[in-house]
Each structure stands twice: as C-alpha cells, then as structure tokens.
Structure 1
Amino acid sequence: MTILYAADPAESEAWIGSLRALDPKLDFATWPDWGDPDKVDFIIVGGRSPGDLSIFKNARAIQSTWAGVNHLLKSKFPPGVPIARMVDQGLSANMVEYLVYWVLDALRQGRELRAAQREGKWIDLPLRWARDFPVGILGLGTLGVATAEKLVGLGFPVSGWSRTAKTVAGVRAFHGAGQLGDFLAPLKLMICLLPLTNDTEGILDAKLFAGLTDGAILVNAGRGGHTNDADLLAALDSGKLAYALLDVFREEPLPPDHVFWRRKDIVITPHVAAITRAGTGAEDILENYRRALAGKPLLNPVDPSRGY
C-alpha cells in the first residue's frame, strides 16, 4: 500500500517528513514517479491539481492540504472516491490574524497615515470606534466563523452571509440571494471567505459592489476566481470602493505587468493569509488515511456537488 503525494517536491518533502515522524512505516510515492498505480491507496494533493488522478483505481480517498478544493474538483479522479479538505487549527489562526490585522488597520486609517508619512505630512485624523465600523464576512465556514468571533470580541458590529442559514453568537447572520442586499447595505468593510463554486465564481462584481455603501473597503482572502477584475477596477475608479486588499488572484503568481501592481488603491499580499503547515496538519491526514483504509467516514469531507 502506497500514499501518493501529488505536489511540488518542496511541499511534498515537508509533508512526507511530518507524516513519517508520526508513523515511520508509511510508504510514499511522489508525482510523477508513482510506480504501479494499482498500489496507490491514498492520494494527497497540494495547492494545484497535478493532473488526471483517475488512473489510481484502488485509491480509497483523496486528501487536500488546502481548505479550498476547487482546483482538485477540476481534476479527473476515480468515481465515488471520497475527498477531504484541510481544516487546520494553525490555518484558522493564521487567517484570523491576517484579517483582524487589516480590519484594525482600516479602522485606524493606516493607509492614510502611511501616505502622509511618505509625503512628510503631520495629519490629524479623528479617532474612530470599532462599534461604528460595521464589518461583513461573505462565507461563514470554519474560517469565517473564527474571524467573526474574534472581531465581535474586539467590539465590531459583525454580519455574515452564507448560502444556507447559520447561527453564530454575536453575529447578524444572513443567507441566500434574497438577503444579500440587506447584508451589504451597512458595511464599511467586507471580507470574502467563500469557497469557489459555480455559484460564487465572479461574485465580487458590479452588482454586488453597488449594494455596498460608498467608500467601502474590500478584502478578498477567499479565491481569485471570486473577483471580477474589470468590475473591481471600475468600482475603485468611481469611488464606490475606497480600496481593495487582495490576497488571491485569478493567476498566481500575479504577473509583473498586471495592472493591479500599479494601483495605489489596491493592496497586494501574495496568497499568504493562511497556509497549512505540515507540522499542524499531518495528524488529520494520518487519521483520514487510517479511516479510509478502514472504510470509515473521513474528517472534513467534501461534497463535490456543492464544490466544498
């Protein structure tokens, strides 16, 4: 029995090392040197789909090291094979840190203060209270809920929107297309943490931006495919959005000649908001490997029909 790690060599080395530390008896192969495909009984996939997985007909399960699996669902894989995504406490903590940092930066007008420093200006900005700065989160999954709870604890009015109804203490929850407008209307800052599905592809578009208050701030830490790039630029040019902070892009790495790099109203971070580390996620992968061999349900299963 062999575990196939289908990712780039640097990534696979770290994960395989962490898994072997937990169980030295594990046998691994790496893409594309998998040997006999019939001996592969478990497949681990990183942040990019390596290709056709359907040849591994004896695979009991496929495990993503990422929380998002849209890249994986575009691959071919054996019919009926269960898929699991990564829900890692380290990843959740990283995402919460990242988003809380940028929400506080927006509240305390860090962008304006940095611009004033570059120009050698001493400016007097009015102090704003968190209680007067409504924040909304598109997507109330594991990461969205963890972020919402932290922001509520800091005194922000927090709203959340999801496809289906959710209940989160201290959060004003909206769901479904019919409630999206009410969710958007009061926000001064909106965070996107949605999974990328057919329904959410390009959701950050002109229609959605029109529902926001003028001068709102956008933070996209979900997926690059959520953003309609042309509509985003138009919203920035019109002042509908004050600025956008983007950690994810349709093409990664973002090409050096991309217009986003030259915009003063776009802050770019290179997909670093939250990264699953081998040391914190290996135990869950090993547990899922053992569950797969025993025919038991996986931790954090994916529903391909929903896309997450």
Structure 2
Amino acid sequence: MISVAFLSTPGLMDPLEPLLRRELPGLTCASWPEEASREAELAVCWKPQAGALAAMPNLKLIHSIAAGVDNILADPSVPDRPVCRIVDPDISVAMTEFVLWSTLYFHRDFDRVIDNARTGAWHRYAQRAPQDTRVGILGLGTLGTDAARRLVDLGFSVSAWSRSAKTADGIRTFSGAAALDAFLGEVDILVSLLPLTPSTLGLLNAERLSRLPKGAALVLCSRGEHLIADDLVALLRTGHLRGAVLDVFEREPLPADHPLWREPGVLVTPHMAAIASWMVIAQQIAENVRRLKRGEPLLNAVDRARGY
C-alpha cells in the first residue's frame, strides 16, 4: 500500500487521516517534517513548506485538499509529478449561497441597515428591482457559472469575465485582458471567483478597482492574493467604493489586530464561503491512489501551465 505524507500547518489534517485509512487499508502515514514523510509516495498538501516536495525522492502524486493548487505551485522547486485537486459537488452549492447572500447584502442595503442599527437610526431605503443591480462575476468556471445562473434566475443583470471566451444563457460575457476594463465599468457588485495564477495575482488593485462605477461593492471569495487590500481601503475612504465582503486573505486566520476588521464598509468572514468535506477529500484522494496504481487517468488533474 502507498505511503502518505501530510504537508500543512500542524493539526490541520488530523480529521483526514482516519478517513483515509478507512478508504485505503494498510496506508502508512506521517506528517512533515517527520523522517518517514520524506520517503512517502503521496503528498497531501495545504500550503506545504517551500522545498519540502522536492525533498521527497519517492513521490508519485501531489494532492491538494482543496479546489485551489496555487499554494502548491507557488514553489518553483515542486517536482514534475501529477498534481490533483478536490472538486466537491457541494462546494458549488455552498459558494452560490454565499454569493447570493453577499449580493443581497448590498442590493437590499443590509450593510447600511446594520450600521444604522448600531446607533438606533430608523431609516428605510428605497427598494430596487433586481434588474437594476448589475452583478459582475470574475471567473466563469464551475463555481462562477452556477452562481451567475442563480443570480439570473433571481432577476439580476449579470455579466461575467473569463480569460478565454465562454458563453452562458442570460449572461453577458467578456473575455481576455482587453475586455476587462469594459466589464468592470458596468458592474455595481463585483464577485471574484477566479483561480489564483500568476496572471491573476494582485489583479484587484487600485487601477482596476477604480474602473468600477462610483458606489460599487466588492465580494471576494476566491483567493486573498487577488486583492491589494490597501488599494481597496483607499477607494473606500475616498467614497469611490461603497463596501466589501472579504472571505479570503493573504494571511489566514486574519490577525485579530488587523485593521480590515474595523474598516468601515468592510465585512470580514472567516474563509467560510465553501468548504469541502473531509469525507469527500478522503474519497477523492483514495480514488486517485487506486487510479494511479492501475495506470488510469486521475480525477481533477491540474494543468500546471494554466495553474488549475
């Protein structure tokens, strides 16, 4: 049976080990940097230490425990081995719920009502029809497409931007770097669902966020590294942007003394938009181990050139 090494912050994968052992009887496990982990054939990762994967000579498969693999591929020393990610069918449902809630948070003025409640201010805002709120989705993959379709079902005016050309019923689509500014200029609520790649790192900076119409809001539930937080804060303080729901950050957990917690207009949530279940993670890793042994195509294999 294959040997596995867990590469993550201490304790993070404790729930995964017994589930993997149940799926793969006879599995041997170790955690980095234990000596046995260096001889493992399978690396199960979340933000592995730089250079760790390169120090595993028997490595046959690298597996993320999430949909994203940017935390693995950021290390230039990662060896040329298959990399796989997790695709939990319930993730799409959970992410869509979060996007719908965040959209309604701004569309129905809950952000303003909550602020008013702190001071006992009774003020009702004029209700807008959904079609009068323009929601823009950055990233039209599985998650972005599902969220966009549900927003269309609710009557919102929905557009989407993706790196390559895509189409979806009821959604105005934009593609390529040349179309990004035009897309941003027509968005009242911007939802980021992009993967993190070298081309999307720092994408949400002052130049691009300022392309949004005055009074627009941001919903970030992709990767914290997409956003230049200081640029967002500056645009909030000038009044160009209305607010932001931020679920992901460069450093997690977000330190309790971080100023974003107290920045007016910003709502911080603890990377809760969509979380894969440990059971699904164990099942998909185990299936890929079986496929690897049989020489079959792997589930959710990553195109390392694209980064996802």
User: SS of the counterpart of 2:93?
Assistant: helix
Q: CA deviation at 1:258?
A: 2.3
Q: Out of 254-263 and 138-147, give the one that drifted further.
A: 254-263
Structure 2 counterpart of 1:17: 18
Structure 1 counterpart of 2:32: 31
Structure 1 counterpart of 2:95: 95
- Aligned residue pairs, count: 306
Opposite residue 3 of structure 1, the aligned amino acid is: V
In structure 1, the gaps of 5 or more residues are none
Deviation per residue, 1:74-113 (Å, 9 max, x gap): 2365632010111112222221111111111211111111
CA contact (8 A) 1:136 1:158 kept: yes
CA distance in 2, matches of 1:58, 1:171: 47
CA contact (8 A) 2:63 2:84 kept: yes
Structure 2 counterpart of 1:229: 229
CA distance in 1, matches of 2:209, 2:76: 35
CA distance in 2, matches of 1:34, 1:172: 54
CA distance in 2, matches of 1:17, 1:100: 35
CA distance in 2, matches of 1:60, 1:193: 30
Q: CA separation of 1:107/1:286 partners in 2, compared to 1, >3 Å: closer, same or farther? A: same
Runs of 4+ in 1 over 4 A off after TM superposition: none
Q: CA separation of 1:76/1:211 partners in 2, compared to 1, >3 Å: closer, same or farther? A: closer
Opposite residue 48 of structure 2, the aligned amino acid is: S
Q: CA separation of 1:236/1:132 partners in 2, compared to 1, >3 Å: closer, same or farther? A: same
CA distance in 2, matches of 1:181, 1:220: 18
User: SS of the counterpart of 2:36?
Assistant: coil
User: SS of the counterpart of 1:63?
Assistant: strand
CA contact (8 A) 1:4 1:34 kept: no
Q: How does 1:112-261 map to 2 (within 5 A)?
A: 112-261=112-261
CA distance in 1, matches of 2:294, 2:149: 36
State whether structure 2 residue 11 is matched by structure 1 residue 2.
no
Q: Out of 11-20 and 259-268, give the one that drifted further.
A: 11-20
CA contact (8 A) 1:55 1:78 kept: no
Opposite residue 109 of structure 1, the aligned amino acid is: D
User: SS of the counterpart of 2:252?
Assistant: coil
Structure 2 counterpart of 1:272: 272
C-alpha RMSD of the superposition:
1.8
CA contact (8 A) 2:5 2:38 kept: no
Deviation per residue, 1:225-261 (Å, 9 max, x gap): 1111221122112222101111112222223332212
Opposite residue 11 of structure 1, the aligned amino acid is: L
User: SS of the counterpart of 1:54?
Assistant: helix
CA contact (8 A) 1:59 1:78 kept: no
CA contact (8 A) 1:89 1:280 kept: no
Opposite residue 254 of structure 1, the aligned amino acid is: L
Q: CA deviation at 1:57?
A: 2.3
In structure 2, the gaps of 5 or more residues are none
Q: How does 1:284-303 map to 2 (within 5 A)?
A: 284-303=284-303
CA distance in 1, matches of 2:3, 2:277: 22
Structure 2 counterpart of 1:64: 64
Q: CA separation of 1:16/1:193 partners in 2, compared to 1, >3 Å: closer, same or farther? A: same
User: SS of the counterpart of 2:41?
Assistant: strand
Q: CA separation of 1:77/1:87 partners in 2, compared to 1, >3 Å: closer, same or farther? A: farther
Structure 2 counterpart of 1:50: 49
TM-score by length of 1: 0.92
User: SS of the counterpart of 2:165?
Assistant: coil
CA contact (8 A) 2:5 2:37 kept: no
CA distance in 2, matches of 1:227, 1:138: 13
CA contact (8 A) 1:2 1:42 kept: yes
